[in-house]
Amino acid sequence: MIKQATTTGGGTGVVNDAVYIDDVQTVRRELREERCLLQRLAQPFEAGGMRFWFRVFFVLGSVNITWWDDRTHRYSILFG
């Protein structure tokens, strides 16, 4: 996968189906001023029709542990 290095995440600007160097070159031509990250596509845990990524946030002195679905972009707080 190809990710823009300066976006906030959440799937914005991510190319999940990149396979060849030509895929990278295409993105680089489109985003000449952007730095990109290359990453192997990881498959998240799935249950009950939902996909789960484990995420932790430190907010105002509090640790918040969440599950995040990368397709719906919805968070569920586990602890926080």
Q: For the chain, what is the domain count?
A: 2
Same structural domain for residues 54 and 74? Answer: yes
Residues 21-59: tens digit of each pLDDT: 999 999 889 888 888 888 887 888 888 877 878 889 999
Identify the residue with better confidence: 48 or 20: 20
Single pTM value for the model: 0.55
- Widest Cα–Cα separation across the chain: 45
In the chain, the percentage of residues whose pLDDT exceeds 90 is 18
Question: Are 10 and 28 in the same domain?
Answer: yes
Asked if 72 and 51 sit in the same domain, the reply is: yes
Do 33 and 55 lie in a common domain? no
Q: Are residues 7 and 32 in the same domain?
A: yes
Asked whether the beta carbons of 23 and 15 are under 8 A apart, the reply is yes
Residue 76: its pLDDT value, please? 86
56 and 34 share one domain: no
Same domain, 6 and 24: yes
Enclosing domain of residue 52: 45-79
